[in-house]
Structure 1
């Protein structure tokens, strides 16, 4: 009996992190499990990323670069990347940011779980994301289910949602759930998308698939301690969370309302700069979120 080899492509979204992208691509081409295509979506970087990708695409024949004419945000980048990946007809799509550095066997360990007899069905598999010090990366803590340890003896933790930092999905599932929402721009597109996928079948964290997320600091998003120049971007967090929580039901939206109230309270009572600006951004995101109802695209719409 002959086994049909499944093909895999990687989608990497990059913006002005040329050196980390170079390290990311090096880690991808040196995986113990071969990758059929490496698709890099360049979000109109201004640091010479386009030249780097041009040079690397000559060196690696499985690398394809797609240079956007403007920065469409991480959400827009992943939306475009998955459209390109879907058109490539690869069976599996491995998704990540440019500052994600996979261990050499990260993909092999993800794909190894696909053939596990006990894993009858799955919608996504993700890696264990650590920071540069090998501790958990706080921005990429997944949301576990109430029966999270159901498959733990097989090295799998059952999840409700997770991030796009090393996420493996099946091409065929895009036909059922569509693409990530480009209108999110940044923040929450990964959580919304993996929640959507989880309506098809459970998602799992694969404990022995490890990647390093080389963020500057190992910290979760926190508008209270954020510097003034980066406060405006939090609009997307509060707007997008409103949409995701509304879609998840009443209790989820109540939790979101509590989160908004607590955020404003913390900004007011704790020592930090730009309090008025931060409260304004939270309220703007909250109000816009009430009416935010983006359209989900499907392959047949394209």
Structure 2
């Protein structure tokens, strides 16, 4: 029997991008994509009115009462998928991700080849066709058929197996933004292996192609407050790892970032120093619990 898939797309005040990404989902035939769930993080830019105009039997829309960040949106989406549907796989993505029928087909081919995996990640490209730096994965082993074993990936075209959600729980909504996808896929990876699917190509329409959490090269002052969550969240992710060196790694990376900002020339130096310090201090006492499904599977 063919595997069933529901896409989960989270949006917040990015109507222009949503008008590009959502139609790319709607163009996929319903024999391959059975459901499309849009999580609206209480947008105020006309997103609600736009969603009212769409007519597709697969479409479900969940309007949250406040902006819970990307992490809260993905938590709500995966929770809805698990509790309200019976589909086999959740296909998770941002509202600036352009997908295609081919991208999903290649993910499903990977399911046929490695059916017991926890998750499958697409090859994410920037608008010019180069690899999207914030979505790079680190292959561990080539397992054939264009698949590579990986430990973690981002929420940009990620296929998650329902059965593994019951054991791993839901994404950590308290992260708000940044790092929730890495923590969640690492958690899933402790249940079963994850794979990078090189044949599944998608486009991530971010403004500039910089690596995630790269505060040193950040030039947009409006984005600086987000880095608080980067430094806070990465410490919790490290504490949840099993090996000591993996637990220590986030502290090492933070010290490297701090040294670069302090001793090298960078824009908004003072603000960046304060953010690294405040985020790290918050991370030392940041201990939200993981939500697990109840009464199903």
- Normalising by the smaller structure, the TM-score range is over 0.9
Note the alpha carbon deviations across 1:147-174, whole angstroms, 9 max, x for none: x22x1x3110110100010000111211
User: Conserved in 2, the CA contact under 8 Å of 1:54 and 1:65?
Assistant: no
Contact 2:169/2:290 (<8 A) preserved = yes
Specify the alignment match of 2:198 in structure 1: 207
Match of 1:36 among 31, 34, 37: 34
Report matched runs for 1:242-281 at 5 Å: 242-248=235-241, 249-281=243-275
| Partner Cα separation in structure 2 for residue 228 and residue 141 of structure 1 | 25
In the alignment, is the contact (CA less than 8 A) between 2:117 and 2:161 conserved in 1?
A: no
1:61-140 equivalent positions in 2, closer than 5 A: 61-86=57-82, 87-116=84-113, 119=114, 121-140=116-135
Kindly state the Cα deviation for residue 104 of structure 1 after the two structures are TM-superposed.
2.8
- Unpaired runs of at least 5, structure 2: none
Deviation at 1:270, TM superposition (A): 2.0
Shift of 1:274: 2.7
User: SS in structure 1 opposite 2:101?
Assistant: coil
Q: Tell me the TM-score normalised to structure 2 length.
A: 0.94
| Structure 1 pair 294–143 and aligned structure 2 pair: CA distance change class (3 A) | farther
The answer to whether the 8 A contact 1:74-1:186 is kept is yes
Unaligned runs of 5+ in 1: none
Paired position in structure 2 for 1:45: 43
Runs of 4+ in 1 over 3 A off after TM superposition: none
Which residue number corresponds to residue 12 of structure 2?
A: 15
- Cα distance in 1, alignment partners of residues 28 and 106 from structure 2: 11
Whole-angstrom distance in 1 between the partners of 2:162 and 2:37 = 14
Contact 2:126 2:205 survives alignment (8 Å):
yes
Tell me which residue corresponds to 1:141: 136
